[in-house]
Chains A and B, each alone.
Chain A
Amino acid sequence: MESARSKWLWGVASLLILVWTVFPILWIVMLSFKQPGEVGNKKGFLPADWTWTNYETVFKTDIFTSALINSIGISVIATFVGVVFATLVAYAIARLEFPGKKLILSFALAIAMFPVVSLVGPLFNLWRDIGLYDTWPGLIIPYISFALPLAIWTLSAFFREIPWEMEQAAQVDGATTWQAFRKVIVPLAAPGVFTAAILTFFFCWNDFVFGISLTSSDAARPVPAALAFFTGASQFEQPTTAICAAAVVVTIPVVVIVLAFQRRIVAGLTSGAVKG
């Protein structure tokens, strides 16, 4: 009785949350399929007249296509560099005893908690002085430094889960420290590395504050920032539907990545490594 009831309650709660989160997305999707003139004139959730026009407009606009390339390039590079760094740091933190280990971890946490907005001003001036303003590295560097703490924490938790013996066994079997790390630890930590990579990628991909403040042209402006500069097909139309189409386009990679890798993220790869 009790379990049936609690199941039911859980079901209702999940449904509510699902509606709460999915509804805005659906709304944006619906808007993106409406005729540009329809918004504000006709009522209704579903488009009266389904159309791909907005998507065509979006991909014809230079602002968007260059921003898409910027976003992809910057996010991929920042993710790659960030995860490589984080893997090495997390491994050292999980495995080695050295003075200042706690300090590094708490420092990393402090960085993660630092309000981003307060840094934008100084960074803007600094970047302009040293010529990093409106360049890819100008965004990649702050992305890495803000994504690193989370990645380090996630990865060091994963590394700690891997039994020491794994590595010692590899060393006795004739592996150098580096070989043991590459052939045993990294494959075992793969789910953790994936998780860290995905989290970092999302952080970079979704960022707006740095994107809008540290760029001024197509040279480095990422999609979230570029959306604000949308004008629509003609100057006399509100660009609402086109912005929605662009928003849908940038959401797709996120959805695809999550669907593709959720198994890997959850996979308990270490099961069977040791007894039990």
Chain B
Amino acid sequence: MAAITMKKIVKRYGDGFPAVNEVSLDVRDGEFMILVGPSGCGKSTLLRMIVGLEDITSGEMLIGGKVVNKVAPRQRNLSMVFQNYALYPHLTVFENIAFPLRLAKTPDDEVQRRVKETAELLELTEHLDRKPANLSGGQRQRVAMGRAIVRQADAFLFDEPLSNLDAKLRGQMRTEISRLQRRLGVTTVYVTHDQTEAMTLGDRVAVLRKGVLQQVGSPRELYEEPVNLFVAGFIGSPSMNFLPASVDGAFLDTPLGRFELRDDRKAGALGGREVVLVGVRPEHFEDASLIGEEKKAKGATVQARVDVTEWLGNEQYAYVPYEAPADVAAQLRDLSRELDGDQLRTQAVVALDAASTIKPGGESELWIDTAKVHLFDPATGENLTRDEEHVAQLNQLADESRDAHRKAHRGD
């Protein structure tokens, strides 16, 4: 077991394009770290630099306190699960799992014992004599995991291990990986572009954008206190709505209507700016007719024309198109494209209570929880209203819940 420390890691390809740019990241011993970002953000490259399959252009990579920049993959004592599993098709499941042990010249009786133990842990015992070609996707995935955990590696590295499974199996394997990691307590770095995996698996999540590290924090911190527009838009599904607003004292004029910032800290954060982007998560909207007076007074009510509604049983989404100034609209479209989406029109996505009877096409009254909104600088994308006190609280909470998790899993 070991901590992994990255200091100003840069990966530059032949054409000078930096795939990873000055990333500094500390993965603590035993921690489950997620690298997440849209495709092409450099997360896989970073993982491959940790394992040694990719050269480091500059910067320092430390594993267990030792600089490993020039150390060959086989000497780093890490194990990795590849996206396409990379099982050896000519070997049986048993020999696939035993492969790292055989290379380490482990005595045969110990190989037998450890492979059997691993197979039991992953419920592969009855498949040990089969070839990978005869296994289902989920079974292959488990064999790949078996090969990774059979030896005492210093850290596990996962490169989008679940992306080839169907949705149901993915959910099961996700829980399985989480349980396994907490039980073994091995440092883990996990690359994914899937939000659910990022939010549910990680102790901490690192968000990358075009090779640059944006924010590292617990899933809650990323969701509730994002540092910038990119993280705010990337984390959460459906993503946060960004409304352009012109500032008028403590009042904000948005395309959906005018409302007041009642929080002095937030009003202060405006810092004399004339235009800001207001970030509102879909669930911070509500059908005004379903809210009590007392709660209503804490937020703001606006009139909006709902275009389409989607009723899902447990909740309901409403789409509210709005007009935005051309430059802001272009900026939002760029952001959406960068987040692997392609939003054609500027619209707000609103999550309503399933009981709401708002009709598409007409004017409706929507309530906004203004205490929860974030304000972003339209030029830099920086979050003006990040609450450091709250962040500290969230960190403490994350640490506590992590320790509790560990204790529960070590117990059994």
In the complex, which residues of chain A have a beta carbon less than 8 angstroms from the beta carbon of B51?
172
Contact of B87 among A174, A269, A272 (CB under 8 A): A272
Cα A165 to Cα B147 in complex, Å, equals: 14
Top 8 nearest A-B pairs (CB, nearest first) are A272-B133, A165-B86, A169-B86, A274-B84, A273-B89, A173-B100, A174-B103, A275-B164
Chain B residues whose CB sits within 8 angstroms of the CB of A273 once the complex forms: 86-89, 132-133
Knowing A171-B53, A171-B72, A171-B73, the reply to whether A271 touches B89 (Cβ < 8 A) is yes
How many chain A residues touch B (Cβ–Cβ < 8 Å)? 24
Nearest A residue to B165, CB-CB: A275
Query: In this complex, which of B79, B89, B137 has the most chain A Cβ atoms within 10 angstroms of its Cβ?
Result: B89
B259 proximity list for chain A (CB < 8 A)? none
- Further 5 A-B residue pairs, CB within 8 A, beyond A179-B103, A273-B132: A165-B82, A172-B73, A174-B104, A272-B133, A275-B85
Contacting residue for B79 out of A173, A272, A274, CB 8 A: A173
Residues of A within 8 A of B (CB): 163, 165-166, 168-176, 179, 184, 187-188, 190, 269-275
Is B88 a contact partner of A184 (Cβ separation < 8 A)? yes
Interface string of B107-147 (1 = CB under 8 A from A): 00000000000000000000000011111010010000001
A-chain residues with CB within 8 Å of residue B104 when the two chains form the complex:
174
Separation in Å of the A155 CB from the closest CB of chain B? 17
Whether B223 sits at the interface, judged by CB under 8 Å, is: no
Q: Is B368 an interface residue (CB 8 A)?
A: no
A70 to chain B, nearest CB (A): 37
- The contact sample of 30 A-B pairs, CB cut-off 8 A, is A163-B84, A165-B82, A165-B83, A165-B86, A166-B86, A168-B73, A169-B82, A170-B99, A171-B73, A171-B74, A172-B73, A172-B79, A173-B79, A174-B103, A174-B151, A175-B103, A184-B88, A188-B89, A188-B90, A269-B89, A269-B90, A271-B89, A272-B132, A272-B134, A272-B135, A272-B140, A273-B87, A273-B89, A275-B84, A275-B85
Q: Knowing A271-B133, A273-B132, A275-B164 touch, does A172 contact B78 (C-beta < 8 A)?
A: yes
Which residues of chain A have C-beta atoms less than 8 A from B10's C-beta? none
- Asked if B227 lies at the interface with its beta carbon under 8 angstroms from chain A, I say no
Q: Are B72 and A275 in contact (CB under 8 A)?
A: no
- Complex CA gap A176/B74 in Å reads 7
Q: Does B351 belong to the interface (CB within 8 Å)?
A: no
Nearest-Cβ distance from residue A101 to partner chain B, whole angstroms: 15
Q: Complex formed: what's the CA distance from A33 to B12 in Å?
A: 73
In Å, the complex CA distance between A205 and B66 comes to 58
Residues of A within 8 A of B384 (CB): none
Say if the beta carbon of B245 comes within 8 Å of chain A: no
What is the minimal beta-carbon distance from A270 to any residue of chain B, in angstroms? Answer: 6
- Closest A residue, CB atoms, query B48: A168
A93–B375 Cα distance when bound, in Å, is 55
Instruction: Give chain A residues whose Cβ lies under 8 Å from the Cβ of B85.
Output: 274-275
**Which B residues lie within 8 Å of A179 (CB)?**
103
Contacts of A163 in B (CB 8 A): 84, 86
Cβ of B240 under 8 Å from chain A: no
Q: How far is the CB of B38 from chain A (nearest CB, A)?
A: 22
Asked if B80 lies at the interface with its beta carbon under 8 angstroms from chain A, I say: yes
B82 partner residues in chain A, CB cutoff 8 A: 165, 168-169
